[in-house]
Structure 1
Amino acid sequence: MDELPAASSVQGHNDRRNSTSSQEESTGSELSDSMEVTNEACKETYDENADHQDSAWMYKHHPGATDAVLSCPACFTQICFVCQAHARFAGQFRALSVMHCELTEDVFAFGKKSGLLEPIDNSAMQPNGKNVFRAVVCSECGTKVGVMDQENVYHLFHVLTGS
């Protein structure tokens, strides 16, 4: 036959339950207080005109139409706001200016047999400079995002697109 627990052990169990519920009540009031503080902080930092101001800045600094807004595929940093989609190759873009990008010393040229960009030695640059490109990397993370030709036009092909 099962023995009933002693009255003192039942009382101890009830004491633990009561202390837990009082802790929950104090935690609930602390949570309510912290939510009020958070709401006040949001009111202080919220700016109803922020979207309008951001839009005005974009139109001032990047006038004209664009086919896409381009971002680095590794760190999602925006690198180009005004670009033109390539007529023949989907996912490739041309731009006259970029942001958050750096040129590297790496030089590329189209391979005669493969038709693909292949690295070449700086000292062995071809006399026909139209086929020589320099690598463009994201300045935030170093990911290669495209190349720049001899006419200072950026050809971006390893990018994420947005509108």
Structure 2
Amino acid sequence: MEPEASKEAEKQPMDAEAGDPADPRDLVSSDDEIDYSVEPEFYDPAVDDVDERWAHKQRKGRTSDAVLSCPACFTTLCLDSQRHEKYVNQYRAMFVCNCKVKINQILREGKGKRKNRKVTAVDSTTPEVENKGPVYHPVCCEICSTEVGVFDEDEVYHFFNVIPSNS
């Protein structure tokens, strides 16, 4: 085969089976083959109403400031939360789902001014862990293991790494 002929063959699109050149204008989009006049079988117009009834049943009549989701995988973590009065990106809750508490890890507030305190990890095997302020345990998303908050001694979840949405 001549060098010019092989270059010309490389430029033209080929049919996968026949090996004949195909005209790009003859290619059809899969959207052109869909009949939009027929309702797809996976469409359910009542699904939003069913989901709303399920959420109300889960809340048991309580109101919520936000529905909280994991920032990494968008899994629902809490349907019934209360927004922090001062820090608008923090929430607390008692009833959660899809959360895993790491009981073997202990977090404590650091010393210093109240405003600058930070929660730090402490080894739970050391004797100095006992009686030094409130104890917190990390809370992670059960699906993707992203840390989303802490769990305190009063069995309250404090979320700070979540995506809130209107409830």
- Normalized against structure 1, the TM-score is what? 0.74
- 1:127 and 2:131 correspond: yes
Counterpart secondary structure, 1:136: strand
Counterpart secondary structure, 1:133: strand
How many residues are matched?
Answer: 138
* Unmatched runs of 5 consecutive residues or more in structure 1: 1-18
CA displacement at 1:121 relative to structure 2 = 1.7
CA displacement at 1:57 relative to structure 2 = 0.6
Higher Cα Rg: structure 1 or 2? 1
Distance 1:48 1:89, change over 3 A: same
Q: Indicate the residue corresponding to 2:47 in structure 1.
A: 50
Q: 1:1-163 residue pairs with structure 2 within 5 A?
A: 20=23, 24=26, 27-28=27-28, 32=32, 34-36=33-35, 40=38, 42-63=39-60, 64-104=62-102, 105-113=104-112, 115-123=117-125, 124=127, 125-127=129-131, 131-163=134-166
Counterpart secondary structure, 1:43: coil
Distance 1:151 1:44, change over 3 A: same
Following the alignment from structure 2 to structure 1, what is the Cα–Cα distance between the partners of residues 85 and 37?
Answer: 50
> Counting helix residues as a fraction of each chain, which structure ranks higher?
1
Q: Indicate the residue corresponding to 1:12 in structure 2.
A: none
CA displacement at 1:89 relative to structure 2 = 2.0
Cα RMSD, aligned residues only: 2.5
Distance 1:152 1:39, change over 3 A: farther
The alignment-based identity, stated in percent, is: 32
CA displacement at 1:49 relative to structure 2 = 1.1
